[in-house]
A and B are shown apart, each in its own frame.
Chain A
Amino acid sequence: MERLKSLRPGPVPLAILSGLVIGALMLLVSGDNPLVAYREIVEGAFAPRNWRNTLSWAIPLVGMSLAAAIPLRGGMVNLGGDGQIVIGGFVAAVVPIYLADAVPLPGFLLAAIAILCAMLASGLWAALAALGETRLGIPMLISSLLLSYPAIGLTSWATGFPLRDTSTGLTQTRPVPPGAELPELFGPVTMGLVLLTIVVAAVIYVDRRTVPGYELRMRGLNRRFAEYGGVRTERQALGAMFASGAIAGLVGAIVVLEVHHRFQNGALVSPSYTWSGLMAALLAGGNPARAVLAGFFFAALQTGGFAMQREIQVPRVLSMVLQAIIILFVSLRYGVGGGRGPKDRP
């Protein structure tokens, strides 16, 4: 029951169009001009002066789209991105702070260790949910989500009490040691962008060209077929969730080391990267390359939303509403006419 029907999204453009039309109707009801609003969104996202903004919003969102797409490719759902991104961010801040106290290391090494630790911690946290399903039969859908709450609670407590930077009034850790921040390279290109690009390329390569990628896709199409063909689906679930969590951890680490330079309570959860990413992955039907595109599309929608709110005072949550409507329309097409089971079996 908890398994997804065959991932066969219908005409995505139609779903996007429907979302935009309904959004326009909502704008009309509240007395705004939808054309003006949409123009603000497009300009806010794509005018050259806004590229940098869009890109910095897109990095975590695209990353979380990719994180969501991996399990989805195998017919699994990871709802625990919030917990995983928070753990990644937390570890990426705490490790260099305390490591630098203990041993003097060059900044870039600190950053590298921090990122690897973050990916490992988040990956293991996510794999816990897979373990619950394979060992205990607890649906991963539920356990992955529930695991987020203690993750958020613990990190929030730690930044509120033992690890708090008492020199500021905010719930946040000390800044990471100088040199451990991720550098900007040139123009809007940052180290985080480079890292993410590498990971995106790696995931797409694995998906298309490798045995594990092939096996995960087959599992998503028909799990029983994969098992029949000798795929070790339990280990596979563990691996897919670990990869998904590790990417979420990387996203957390990039945001912490590149943007905030410290772990701030709530800063990784409140922008809803996880949920937008999940929606992008759903829109892409689990295909990683398309998930990156969809994630970028949603990032543009959201940065455009900021501009719209600033210029014509239409609340930017409208972009969230649009995303949800698009997903609902896409999901209506899921399964329609596709992958019908063998019915007339004796």
Chain B
Amino acid sequence: MQWELETIGVTKRFGPVTANEGVDLRVKKGEVHAVMGENGAGKSTLMSMLYGLLQPDDGEILIAGRQVHFTSALDAIGHGLGMVHQAFQLFEELTVWENIVMGAEPARRGFLDRRRAIASVAGLAERYDLKVDVTQRVRDLSVGIRQRVEILKALYRDAQILILDEPTAVLTPQERDGLFAVIRALRDDGRTILFVTHKLHEVMEITDSVTVLRQGRVTERMATKESTPEAIITAMTGRSVSLDVAKGPATPGEIVLQVAGLTVGQGPKPAVADVSITVRAGEIVGIAGVAGNGQSELIEAIAGLRPGSGRVTLKGRDIASLRVAERREAGLAYIPEDRAATGTAAGATAAETLLMGRQGDAALSRGGLLNLPAISERARRLIAQNDIRISSERAKVGTLSGGNLQKVVIARELDHEAPLLIAEQPTRGVDVGAIEAIHARIVAERDAGRAVLLVSAEMSEVLGLSDRILVMYEGRILAELPASEATEAQLGLLMAGRTGEAA
């Protein structure tokens, strides 16, 4: 039969990493086709090749049966493709209409035809019921609206095949329902949708057929209604995993971290507004929330990386006015959300990376002089203990894979044996095996009597690990509930800011 979009044996390598290998994808016209796979399975890479941003090393791409060679996104757009990227690709300082017409601007005698641009964008938004004020600047828009702008960008170019790369990752459940309505409308319009996700229930809910990727290869391809969640999970992971974390009941002790009335930022909508949190020794407190609701700012303020007003005490000691190093010394360990940008330096050696934050320790330096043998010795010990795959402690960490790099960060922070551990998105972009190990270590920390403050955008992670859950919404703690009583549905509503219905 004639496929609307087909790839035959597509392969893509990044140096030693093979992101896609021999991928055959077959998509029917007018269907919603799921592309599933764990983080790092190669979904985004495949989509980037379909959209002309990357070129395959091998294999063919066919559209409506005809082979195509895209050298840039422009070629793909010309063949009716549109893409909404996992990380939004917007111009913050420009208006909605400027964002949408960019690259395909209506012009009159060489000048930008502003009126025509606004009219056509507004008309398009109207037609697909994507409500948005086209003259607003993008920086003032919420995440959900930004996604609409992204979809409008593709529709403005009359995309017949629309790629949505993990579109729900940043949405509240309610925004997600709105998106699904749009997807159905587009399908009924005769367009083809490629829906990339790693969330099972979404696949079951909205898609017509599924292709599953694991480690760059296709492991399963079927019609959604003929498949089962179990089969898809097995195809994604290669084994049947339970994402439940094995852990006993918590035995909370004394208060370790107490945050009272913490506010970060100014104006009517500060990033963090009057937040109070208590974390006791021997418990894991999870902060749930859609990314961008002030979690990063909250954590940075607690760690001392960002100014804020309010009280922060650690084991009874006021640390609000202390510097980063002094807070660490007072007993704070911190696994940051972005290991590459914050937690490590690509050009530093493993020993140097593992030293950071501890360079003032009496065992590792004295009077400002580094104790190099002790530093190497400790680095070797941490590498061995944590099973970090690296040639030596003198090798640079920039070449390590995501999971290995995260091990370096975790090894360093846990070696601190600080009474308080802050773990921010500890398993993001890490493969499943490593996720289990990381979860187990965090629970072990709790059982060793440390207070753990966990931040995660993965609802299952928060539910599985936490003893108590706080829901953060627009900079505030909206609700607190014991993990044993929390359900996904209830959390979802709270994360969307709805307290009434969840109660």
Q: Other than A211-B359, A222-B347, give 6 A-B pairs with Cβ distance below 8 A.
A: A221-B348, A225-B345, A226-B345, A228-B343, A229-B324, A341-B340
| Partner-binding segment picked from B130-138, B260-268, B366-374, B489-497 | B366-374
Task: Give the chain A neighbours of B87 by CB distance below 8 A.
Answer: 344-346
Q: A211-B359, A218-B345 are in contact. Are A342 and B369 (CB under 8 A)?
A: no
Interface contact A222-B344, CB-CB below 8 Å: yes
Among B338, B346, B348, max chain A CB count under 10 A is at B346
| Residue interface mask B341-360, A partner, CB < 8 A = 1 | 11111111000100111011
- What are 23 A-B pairs with beta-carbon distances under 8 A? A209-B372, A211-B365, A214-B370, A218-B356, A221-B345, A221-B348, A222-B341, A222-B347, A222-B348, A224-B341, A225-B345, A228-B324, A228-B336, A229-B356, A230-B323, A230-B326, A230-B328, A231-B325, A341-B340, A342-B338, A342-B341, A346-B169, A346-B170
Q: What total of chain A residues lie within 8 Å of the partner, measured CB to CB?
A: 30
Question: Any chain B CB within 8 A of the CB of A6?
Answer: yes
Interface contact A221-B372, CB-CB below 8 Å: no
How distant is the Cα of A86 from the Cα of B336 in the complex, in angstroms?
A: 46
Task: Give the chain A neighbours of B327 by CB distance below 8 A.
Answer: 230
Q: A210-B368, A344-B87, A346-B291 are in contact. Are A221 and B323 (CB under 8 A)?
A: no
How distant is the Cα of A7 from the Cα of B86 in the complex, in angstroms?
A: 30
Task: Give the chain A neighbours of B328 by CB distance below 8 A.
Answer: 230
User: Which 4 interchain pairs have the tightest Cβ spacing?
Assistant: A230-B325, A222-B345, A229-B356, A221-B345
| Residue interface mask A3-21, B partner, CB < 8 A = 1 | 0001110000000000000
Interface set, chain B 294-344, CB cutoff 8 A to A:
303, 305, 323-328, 334, 336, 338, 340-344
Partner of A214, one of B291, B352, B398: B352
B322 to chain A minimum Cβ distance, whole angstroms, is: 10
Task: Give the chain B neighbours of A342 by CB distance below 8 A.
Answer: 338, 340-341
Question: Any chain B CB within 8 A of the CB of A139?
Answer: no
Chain A residue with Cβ nearest B86: A346
Q: A214-B355, A339-B398, A346-B291 are in contact. Are A8 and B370 (CB under 8 A)?
A: no
B87 to chain A minimum Cβ distance, whole angstroms, is: 6
Among A7, A230, A342, max chain B CB count under 10 A is at A230
Interface contact A225-B344, CB-CB below 8 Å: yes
A53 to chain B minimum Cβ distance, whole angstroms, is: 39
A232 to chain B minimum Cβ distance, whole angstroms, is: 7
Question: Any chain B CB within 8 A of the CB of A184?
Answer: no
Chain A residue with Cβ nearest B334: A228
Interface set, chain A 196-219, CB cutoff 8 A to B:
209-212, 214-215, 217-218
Interface contact B346-A6, CB-CB below 8 Å: yes
Interface contact A225-B356, CB-CB below 8 Å: yes
Partner of A218, one of B86, B326, B348: B348
Q: A221-B348, A344-B86, A344-B87 are in contact. Are A209 and B370 (CB under 8 A)?
A: yes
Interface contact B360-A211, CB-CB below 8 Å: yes
Question: Any chain B CB within 8 A of the CB of A311?
Answer: no
Could you list which residues of chain B lie within 8 angstroms of chain A, going by C-beta atoms? 44, 86-87, 166, 169-170, 291, 303, 305, 323-328, 334, 336, 338, 340-348, 352, 355-357, 359-360, 365, 368-370, 372, 398
Interface contact A224-B342, CB-CB below 8 Å: yes
Partner of B341, one of A8, A214, A341, A344: A341
A339 to chain B minimum Cβ distance, whole angstroms, is: 5
How distant is the Cα of A221 from the Cα of B345 in the complex, in angstroms?
A: 6
Task: Give the chain B neighbours of A178 by CB distance below 8 A.
Answer: none
A62 to chain B minimum Cβ distance, whole angstroms, is: 25
Interface contact B166-A346, CB-CB below 8 Å: yes
B503 to chain A minimum Cβ distance, whole angstroms, is: 30
Interface contact A228-B356, CB-CB below 8 Å: yes
Q: A209-B372, A214-B355, A342-B340 are in contact. Are A221 and B346 (CB under 8 A)?
A: yes
Task: Give the chain A neighbours of B325 by CB distance below 8 A.
Answer: 229-232
A341 to chain B minimum Cβ distance, whole angstroms, is: 7
Question: Any chain B CB within 8 A of the CB of A153?
Answer: no
Interface set, chain A 91-140, CB cutoff 8 A to B:
none
Q: A6-B347, A214-B370, A225-B356 are in contact. Are A344 and B44 (CB under 8 A)?
A: yes
Interface set, chain A 213-271, CB cutoff 8 A to B:
214-215, 217-218, 221-222, 224-232
Interface set, chain A 23-73, CB cutoff 8 A to B:
none
A80 to chain B minimum Cβ distance, whole angstroms, is: 27
Among B44, B344, B355, B356, max chain A CB count under 10 A is at B356
Question: Any chain B CB within 8 A of the CB of A338?
Answer: yes
How distant is the Cα of A214 from the Cα of B352 in the complex, in angstroms?
A: 8
Chain A residue with Cβ nearest B48: A344
B198 to chain A minimum Cβ distance, whole angstroms, is: 12
Interface contact A210-B356, CB-CB below 8 Å: no
Interface set, chain A 317-346, CB cutoff 8 A to B:
338-342, 344-346
Task: Give the chain B neighbours of A232 by CB distance below 8 A.
Answer: 323, 325
A187 to chain B minimum Cβ distance, whole angstroms, is: 35
How distant is the Cα of A345 from the Cα of B337 in the complex, in angstroms?
A: 11
B302 to chain A minimum Cβ distance, whole angstroms, is: 13
How distant is the Cα of A3 from the Cα of B82 in the complex, in angstroms?
A: 35
Task: Give the chain A neighbours of B360 by CB distance below 8 A.
Answer: 211, 230
Q: A230-B324, A346-B166 are in contact. Are A339 and B368 (CB under 8 A)?
A: no
Task: Give the chain B neighbours of A227 by CB distance below 8 A.
Answer: 305, 324
Partner of B342, one of A8, A218, A228, A346: A228
How distant is the Cα of A217 from the Cα of B87 in the complex, in angstroms?
A: 31
How distant is the Cα of A99 from the Cα of B341 in the complex, in angstroms?
A: 53
